[in-house]
Structure 1
């Protein structure tokens, strides 16, 4: 499926996606900016290595997880685009939070 903008708007800034500069518009999320640029594979599954991308676009399905500025597991569909963000596809399973010694079984 191809995504395109309904109307032209001025570019608000640039995202840096795996060595490529991606323009975004005011009000864009990371998902809408990347989809408008023709990027629809945001991560690979840990089990099969299959590519995954945004599905629900409302923060429920977790298919659009990205690594943003070194932070894993950010949902692209609910993360506002900000100038200069460094974005990478997430590889494998999302990392869970580290448990403190007193929280470990």
Structure 2
């Protein structure tokens, strides 16, 4: 069982120590957590912080790159937050 428990839009999300938010989301089968203004899904793309497709709200901080943000126990992740970077 994973050692870290987080939430994604209020739903439990397991993670392992050392993972990034993007890795935890992908491992849980979540492939998209935001959309562009045109409604196109976005999630993990480059995985190294070069693009901005994986932006997510983490612990109330807008526009965090999921591929670079380390997980921690009790982390609160939110999708579709107003003001998030969009194409």
Normalised by the length of structure 2, the TM-score is 0.87
Structure 1 position 12, deviation (Å): 2.1
Larger radius of gyration: 1
Instruction: Please provide the CA RMSD for this pair.
Output: 1.6
Does the 8 A contact of 2:33 with 2:43 survive in 1?
A: yes
Greater length-normalized contact order (CA 8 Å, ≥ 6 residues apart): 2
Does the 8 A contact of 2:56 with 2:84 survive in 1?
A: no
Q: Which runs of 4+ in 1 moved over 6 A?
A: none
Normalised by the length of structure 1, the TM-score is 0.74
In structure 2, the residue matched to 1:84 is 74
In structure 2, the residue matched to 1:6 is none
> What do residues 38-86 of structure 1 show as CA deviations (whole Å, max 9, x unaligned)?
101121112x021111100000111000011111100000000001111
> How many angstroms apart in 2 are the aligned matches of 1:31 and 1:51?
15
> How many angstroms apart in 1 are the aligned matches of 2:84 and 2:77?
15
Long gaps (5+) in structure 2: none
Structure 1 position 17, deviation (Å): 0.5
Does the 8 A contact of 1:72 with 1:90 survive in 2?
A: no
> How many angstroms apart in 1 are the aligned matches of 2:81 and 2:32?
11
In structure 2, the residue matched to 1:50 is 40
Q: Structure 1 stretch 60-69 or stretch 85-94: which is displaced more?
A: 85-94
> How many angstroms apart in 2 are the aligned matches of 1:13 and 1:92?
27
| Structure 1 residues 54-73: aligned runs within 5 Å | 54-73=44-63
